[in-house]
Structure 1
Amino acid sequence: MIKRLAAETLGTFWLVLGGCGSAVLAAAFPQLGIGFVGVALAFGLSVLTMAFALGHVSGAHFNPAVTVGLFAGGRFPAREVVQYIVAQVIGAIAAAAVLYCIASGKPGFDAAASGFASNGYGEHSPGGYSLTAAIVTEFVLTAFFVIIILGATDKRAVAGFAPIAIGLALTLIHLISIPVTNTSVNPARSTGVALFQGGWAIAQLWVFWVVPLIGGLAGGAVYRWLLDERRAAMAAGGRAATT
């Protein structure tokens, strides 16, 4: 368990450093062509690379919403949920601390003023989207992210390609929702940078815990229902074949 928790910490660290790091450090240089697309790719690539590297150790959750989603989908034990979430939050905070140290090397940098890649709604949404829009976006995208993860890692799926599907899914999610909330779908990611932004990001952090966790549970429950329906249909087909 210690090694699995260490893997979750390292994986979440890499996800936050890679994704939020691209937003804080690289997106400020338009000549690099980073923008929303580059940040979305950075998040997708960070989870893809760590899923390949550490997926066989811990399952590569790197996200509390994924952990509770896998629990709801019947693929993760309840007794380990809290431990995984604590490890993920530690990794996210550590990554945000490293990112803050790097970003502070530029004269005049202010994490509070810059937003520090934090998630927000209303006046703190990149596109000025409302709380309702933020809730709908985070819920739907987190639910689908968990469904994709459960499907891609199912034993009946094509072996070896799950990290690619998951990384591309996270990229797509960011392309959709960066303008709305700056994209969370991950309470640990939101927490790490919010602590260093220190103001409005902490006040709005509750949304990026409550909604993704509910979305993760919903996605897990939907996939489990689909799987149960498929099993029932297969069983019924088997019975019909023997009569």
Structure 2
Amino acid sequence: MAEIDGTIGNGNHGGVVLDIKDDRPPPSSNLTKEDSDLYFSVPFMQKLVAEIVGTYFLIFAGCSSVAVNLNFEKVVTHPGISIVWGLAVMVLVYSLGHISGAHFNPAVTLAFATCKRFPWKQVPAYVACQVIGSTLAAGTIRLIFQGKQDHFTGTLPAGSDLQSFVVEFIITFYLMFVISGVATDNRAIGELAGLAVGSTVLLNVMFAGPISGASMNPARSLGPAIVSHEYRGIWIYMVAPVLGAQAGAWVYNLIRYTDKPLREITKSASFLKSKA
């Protein structure tokens, strides 16, 4: 497979720029070609679609396992739910990582941006697409499981808000620390990124699920909350994962020092880089 360059404004990507024939400077003349291509390039739209689709299938698979477990006598079990989340992440990283970077998580997108591994101007679009994908998935699940089968598949604190906040911070720190290691350091085996990240999600859900729901992802919690109008403790899942991801990325950057050059990743912070 050919490598997909995440640079916006590269002419090889077929970016579309408005052609203004007027001799007078247009009102938007202060925008660079890169800024214009951000909104009109086909590759960027492909990344946004990939984030919507990827987030949709991640939330649909994970939350469906929760719904099935609640409706059919715990047939999936908690370990089974953990496996579903981990496998879903792994499969989607391998299938969409080379297109959009396989973020599917606003906390991950923001962490990459603060570490200058993802362009800030793409952050709002990425986050919006992640929330859209999550909301659509939660809506689909509610259409499938109606009446007595309509259970809330979002995340709620099982104990105190502080307990869940601390747990969400720690597990998201752990997740982003692993992502930073396998996705941005040339000493890691990049081909195993999907396996490493998926396994981390599986482990986190296994032990933290009964405490906080093991969200690690603001979009994962917000989508079901919007569909079910259930916002208890939602601030925990908006704040703790973002702070945890920031801390995880920055701590890894502090300990990663090496004389060797870092892996050149695309501006979409892709987990995987396919070679031509």
Please report the TM-score for the alignment, with normalisation by the length of structure 2: 0.74
Stretches (4+) displaced over 4 A: none
- Equivalent residue for 1:130, pick from 160, 164, 167: 160
What's the C-alpha RMSD, in Å, of the aligned pairs? 1.5
Q: Show the counterpart of 2:250.
A: 221
CA contact (8 A) 1:187 1:212 kept: yes
- For the 8 Å contact 1:73–1:223, the answer to whether it is kept is no
* Aligned equivalent of 1:82, options 98, 115, 124: 124
The answer as to whether partners of 1:73 and 1:150 remain within 8 angstroms in 2 is: no
The 3 A distance-change label for structure 1 pair 31 and 39 is: closer
Distance 1:109 1:31, change over 3 A: closer
**Aligned twin of 1:120:** 156
Structure 1 position 56, deviation (Å): 0.3
**Residue identity matched to 1:216:** A
1:101 aligns with 2:101: no
Q: Which residue of 2 aligns with 1:48?
A: 90
Which has the larger displacement, 201-210 or 182-191?
201-210
Once residues 166 and 235 of structure 2 are traced to their aligned partners in structure 1, the CA distance between those partners, rounded to angstroms, is 15
Distance in 2, matches of 1:184 and 1:49, equals: 18
CA distance in 2, matches of 1:226, 1:72: 17
Counterpart CA distance in 2 for 1:133 and 1:109 is 29
DSSP-derived class of the 2:91 partner = helix
Q: d(CA) in 1 for partners of 2:182 and 2:190? A: 9
Distance across 2 between alignment mates of 1:25 and 1:58 = 30
Identity among equivalent positions (%) equals 33
Aligned-residue offset at 1:118:
1.7
Q: Which residue of 2 aligns with 1:164?
A: 195
Alignment check: 8 A CA contact 1:147 1:219 kept: yes
Aligned-pair CA distance for 1:108: 2.6
1:177/1:183 contact within 8 Å kept: yes
Offset of residue 95 of structure 1: 0.5
Mapped contact 2:71–2:149 kept (Cα < 8 A): no
Q: Is the 8 A contact 1:73 1:220 kept in 2?
A: yes
Distance 1:73 1:150 in 2: 10
- Partner of 2:153, secondary structure, is coil
Q: Which residue identity does 1:142 align to in structure 2?
A: T
Determine if the alignment matches structure 1 residue 19 to structure 2 residue 62.
yes
User: Which structure's CA Rg is the greater one?
Assistant: 2
Which ranges of structure 1 fall in alignment gaps of 5 or more residues?
Answer: 236-243
Per the alignment, residue 240 of structure 1 pairs with: none
Aligned equivalents of 2:178, 2:187: Cα separation in 1: 13
Q: Which amino acid aligns with 1:140?
A: I
Q: Distance in 2 between matches of 1:187 and 1:159?
A: 26
Opposite residue 202 of structure 1, the aligned amino acid is Y
Q: Distance in 2 between matches of 1:15 and 1:31?
A: 21
How far 1:213 moved relative to its partner?
Answer: 0.8
Alignment-mate amino acid for residue 214 of structure 2? T
Q: Deviations over 1:151-181 (max 9, x none)?
A: 1113321131100000000000101111111
Structure 1 residue 117, shift from structure 2 partner: 1.6
CA contact (8 A) 2:222 2:234 kept: yes
SS at match of 1:220: helix
Corresponding residue SS for 1:202: coil
Return the match for 2:231 from 199, 202, 212.
202
Secondary structure, aligned partner of 1:171: helix
Q: Aligned pair in 2 of structure 1 residues 27, 45: CA closer, same or farther (>3 Å)?
A: farther
Structure 2, unmatched stretches of 5+, are 1-43, 261-276
* Displacement of 1:31: 6.5
Does the 8 A contact of 1:63 with 1:85 survive in 2?
A: yes
Counterpart for residue 141 of structure 1:
171
Structure 1 distance, partners of 2:104, 2:250, is 20
